[in-house]
Amino acid sequence: MTRQDTSEDGTTLLATLFVVMVMSIAAAAGVTAVTESIRAAKVSQDGMRTEWLARSAARGLEAIIVRQGSLVAQAGSDPIPVPLPQGTALVSLHDTTSCFNLNSLALDKDGTEIDPQAVAAYRRLLTGLGATEGEADRLAATLSDWIDADGASRNSGAEESAYSYLASPYRAANHTLRDISELRSIDGYSAEIVAQVTPSVCVREPATLSAINLNSLTEQDLPLLQALALEDVSMTDLAARVGARPSTGWVSVEEFLSVFAAGDGSAAPIFAAELLLESRNIRADFALPGPAGPVVFVADYEKIGEGGWHLVSLRRTNGHD
């Protein structure tokens, strides 16, 4: 065999080994890809199963809320066990009727006019939650500018120009709010402020009064109640009146208002709100097993007619809503 033949044989062997190596790597990569694909498909399937369970549980809760709605109006109801195809979910129900309707700032659904009385009540709520007078004025002004249909900025407000120079510019909505998460986009509403106001506010129909469920009020609701009073009422007086609620709840709005006249004979304040005796809105919190651990869901319900309830929204949450 000549040296040339030996060289050619060696080259052929190296080429063959290279081809084998490439094919081995490709095969291994293929196996890995198939394995990852199977794993991804399983995770996706598990995720879809969790979503399906959540929707099923949320729909099933409507019947439970119909039966227990009157109990939810009283603070501190115990978690309710709800049977699932696999295990049981513990559901906590919360009355969310009492809140300041941010869309009440608009006098119509298009936001062509802003209600100064509602703006003043919102300022009072903000100061009651710890904001300074200046902060409350600014937050009320920027929210009003976000909602109203015109492009003119109020004192301390924010219209198009305030958002067009941001690193990621966007337009002011100039429309009533669709979701409370929009607050994060409004000038001045930091994550801290949004977290501070969220328990006391909501997004309901425009030009609709805020609602108060007198039979579910707690100490946390006192700033809201004070803000919606059209005359000065001390927090101490409100706390005493709310604390005077009978164990079975107020039987009428007049009974609640009568406690303001007890003792000194003073007239009851007028509230810029719809005063109710039962729940109109309920939130359900529950956790379901997910691919990477428990997944917490929040379902919001609204009362329709006499005794009927329907699911308004269902969303995942981090458990801190």
Phi, psi of 318 (to 5 degrees): -85, 5
Question: Domain ends where: 200, 220, 250?
Answer: 200
Cα(228)–Cα(118) distance, rounded to whole angstroms? 9
Task: With cut-offs at 50, 70 and 90, classify the pLDDT of residue 156.
Answer: low
Q: In this structure, are 68 and 116 located in the same domain? A: no
Query: Look-up: residue for tokens 């000038």?
Result: 187
If asked whether residues 112 and 93 sit together in one domain, one would say no
Distinct helix (H) and strand (E) counts, the chain = 8, 9
- Do 77 and 162 reside in the same domain of the chain? no
Identify whether residues 77 and 137 lie together within a single domain.
no
The rounded mean pLDDT for the chain is 79
Is residue 63 domain-shared with residue 123, that is, in the same domain? no
Q: Tell me 104's DSSP state.
A: G
The answer on pLDDT for 233 being more than 70 is yes
Tokens found for residue 194: 């949004």
Report the CATH number that the domain containing residue 71 is assigned in CATH: 3.30.1300.30
What is the span of the domain harbouring residue 310? 59-97+280-317
* Residues 76 and 141 placed together within one structural domain of the fold: no
Within a domain: 49: no
| 156 to 136, 151, 166, 247, 259: CA distances (angstroms) | 10, 14, 18, 46, 40
Are 99 and 201 in contact, with CB atoms under 8 Å apart? yes
What band does 289 get if pLDDT is binned at 50, 70 and 90?
Answer: confident
Q: Do residues 75 and 148 share a domain?
A: no
Q: Say if residue 145 is in the same domain as residue 66.
A: no
In whole angstroms, give the CA distance from residue 230 to residue 228: 6
Q: Are residues 64 and 84 in the same domain?
A: yes
Asked whether residue 165 falls in the same domain as residue 181, the answer is: yes
Domain containing 128 — which CATH number? 1.10.40.60
Is 267 within the bounds of a domain? no
Task: Please check whether residue 17 lies inside any domain of the structure.
Answer: no
Q: Are 143 and 179 in the same domain? A: yes
Looking at residues 9-20, what average pLDDT do you find?
49
Task: Please count the CA atoms within 13 angstroms of the CA of 112 that sit on its side-chain side.
Answer: 3
Last residue of a domain, one of 185, 200, 215: 200
User: Considering the domain boundaries, does residue 76 fall inside one?
Assistant: yes
170 pLDDT exceeds 70? no
Q: How many domains does the chain have?
A: 2
- Looking at residues 302-307, what average pLDDT do you find? 82
The region, left, alpha or beta by phi > 0 then psi within -120 to 50, assigned to residue 97 is alpha
Residue 186 within any structural domain of the chain: yes
Q: Does residue 154 belong to any structural domain of this protein?
A: yes
Domain-embedded: residue 51 = no
Same domain, 134 and 194: yes
- What are the tens digits of pLDDT across the range 95-143? 999 999 999 999 887 777 889 999 999 999 999 999 999 999 999 999 9
Domain stops at, among 200, 223, 253: 200
Is 3 inside a domain boundary? no
Residue 173 has pLDDT above 80, yes or no: no
pLDDT at residue 36 tops 70 = no
Instruction: Please tell me the total number of residues recorded for the chain in this structure.
Output: 321
